[in-house]
Structure 1
């Protein structure tokens, strides 16, 4: 297990408008107040599991030659069928970042959903043996390190990138992260921070997080001194 500091250590991948419009079942909202992802097992997220279970059952059936007990194969085919149907009827479940209030909402398939104050929560990577000799990580967020009563799943791929984006977006005193999806909201976000006197960032960064224009950057430096 590796606990993470709330530091922007790299420039996250851009969240572009084109990506959102072509993946409506993934990112459903990205603006100056909320970032929302549909993390339900709807569509291909569920159908992939169906294909995997069907493939494993088929391989086992070939290896056994159809002889002996077929209980395992039958169970796998049943699970595959259930996942196929579930892909059509799965309810939407959203991971939500509330930038202005500093709240992260994480749905859990087992147990209660988690509503976390990002400033006091703790990010960590849990490493597991995904296959013999292969380690994979899962990025999670806990309510605290000492008393992790609540928590949830953030990502299973591109962990450093997801964490960098999360810290950047949840720092309401910084400009919005890179990407054309946020461009329509940059001026509004800039005016809000300007009205507040450009307070210092909530979390440190190892990279520059400039304003959208040189004029805005100069104004932030003049008023906020950073």
Structure 2
């Protein structure tokens, strides 16, 4: 299967400003992420479509937005329905109309939204993620892509989830859900996988292509990692680790 995509954006209009963004998550391996095993790839309702040492493809979670909007707006329709009281205030009508329009929008968008795929192209160093609403998927170099974490609501529900900052004129965010319970574990998995100079992240789902990936890096002389790590990222076996240390020096 060919999951290569044409580059749509070469960077951000304000890269230096984004690097100072308070909620920015730096591309780094912070900790050991969950094992990428059958619980993720073969479980019921798995979003993963393809994965090997070159590419990882998953379904986009964009359908969540119209569902949430639809449920919330429907709830407000029931609350502010004009006939629920003998006399309805103007504010009731305002909320009712807004809720009705939002419900209609969620239905229209849900049935017309583009089919999307999240793609980590480890071989070429590109990442593909969802555009804003009807905007096509965005593809750009992983090294130029900026990430952040969500703040959530007042009760902190939904906080510290990893997001990709879209390179649009207005700042919007795409969901970056792969492996992990928070932004740092998720970022660790993505960075580990996208660093093609390191061995593949832990997990039995990658076991079938670890030897191929090892031989490729060995033929290249085991170049130094592309991104920093706060933890060791050893080879799959002790013998492989000794070869890396002897040839690559790390």
Same fold (TM over 0.5): yes
Shift of 1:205: 0.7
Shift of 1:8: 0.9
Q: Distance in 2 between matches of 1:19 and 1:66?
A: 53
Aligned-partner SS, 1:119? helix
Does residue 130 (structure 1) correspond to residue 150 (structure 2)? The answer is no
Q: Which runs of 5+ in 2 are unaligned?
A: 1-21
Cα distance 1:152–1:193, how it changes in 2: closer, same or farther (>3 A)?
farther
Q: Distance in 2 between matches of 1:2 and 1:191?
A: 38
Match of 1:83 in 2: 106
Given the alignment, which residue of 12, 17, 29 partners 2:33? 12
Please list, as runs of the form range in 1=range in 2, the aligned pairs for 1:194-213 lying within 5 A after superposition.
194-213=218-237
Q: How many residues align?
A: 221
TM-superposition CA deviations, 1:14-70 (whole Å, max 9, x none): 22233222355622222211122222534x664343222222322333995374264
Q: Distance in 2 between matches of 1:7 and 1:148?
A: 26
Match of 1:94 in 2: 117
Match of 1:54 in 2: 74
Q: Distance in 2 between matches of 1:169 and 1:175?
A: 8
TM-score by length of 1: 0.77
Q: Distance in 2 between matches of 1:73 and 1:188?
A: 59
Please list, as runs of the form range in 1=range in 2, the aligned pairs for 1:98-177 lying within 5 A after superposition.
98-110=121-133, 111=135, 113-125=137-149, 127=151, 130-131=153-154, 136=159, 139-141=163-165, 153-155=174-176, 158-177=182-201
Match of 2:9 in 1: none
Q: Displaced runs of 4+ in structure 1, greater than 6 A?
A: 132-135, 147-151
Contact 1:94 1:107 in 2 (8 A): yes
Q: Which runs of 5+ in 1 are unaligned?
A: none
Match of 1:214 in 2: 238
RMSD of aligned C-alpha atoms? 3.6
- After TM superposition, the structure 1 stretch with the greater mean CA deviation from structure 2, 44-53 or 93-102, is 44-53
Shift of 1:118: 1.9
TM-score by length of 2: 0.71
Contact 1:173 1:193 in 2 (8 A): yes
Given the alignment, which residue of 23, 31, 35 partners 2:56? 35
Contact 1:40 1:91 in 2 (8 A): no
Contact 1:123 1:142 in 2 (8 A): no
